[in-house]
Amino acid sequence: MSEKIFKDLSDFIGTHFIYTYDNGWEYEWYAKNEHTVDYRIHGGMVAGRWVTDQEANIVKLTDGVFKITWTEPTGTDVALDFMPNERKLHGVIFFPKWVHDHPEITVTYQNEHIDTMLEAREKYATYPKYLVPEFAVITYIGSAGIDNDDVINEAPYKGMTDSIRNGSFYDANYRHKKTNI
């Protein structure tokens, strides 16, 4: 079986990734459509956080290289450069001071707690920003398709990324296998 070759945005959009930064933080990320991303955080300062339908700017820099940027309701800015053909990326996360000082506030399903994020952003200090510039190794690439709400549909838990990588999390149509029913 040959591995998918990424060239254009049409190759990238609809793809689901798991990657581990050099600092050990593990993330799961999905290019849901041309302007929206979903993600779960499995390791690091805000492990347990998950987000769906985050508006983002997604562009092709050159063949096989893609840049994605967004600002979260927390005030955190993110810039990711994906090089999936090399199974690597470079990311910079610009955490506001309050997220660095109180990461537990953000460890939730953000979409249900936007007011909490906005309130914390106003209540606590924003600067100085805590920058996390890191390279990462892509450990999983899946073709989930566009606007697949089964990709990121529950909170992260221990062993989830291993289940995804070993093929026991999604069925042949990239739908979440409901093992707890």
Catalytic positions, please? Answer: 27, 72
Count CB-CB contacts under 10 A for residue 26: 19
SS3 state at 118? helix
Rounded CA Rg of the chain: 16
Short-list 160, 164, 155, 174, CA closest to 40: 155
Indicate the Cα dihedral angle 60, 63, 65, 69, nearest 10°: 0
Phi, psi of 58 (to 5 degrees): -120, 120
Q: How far apart are CA 102 and CA 84, in angstroms?
A: 33
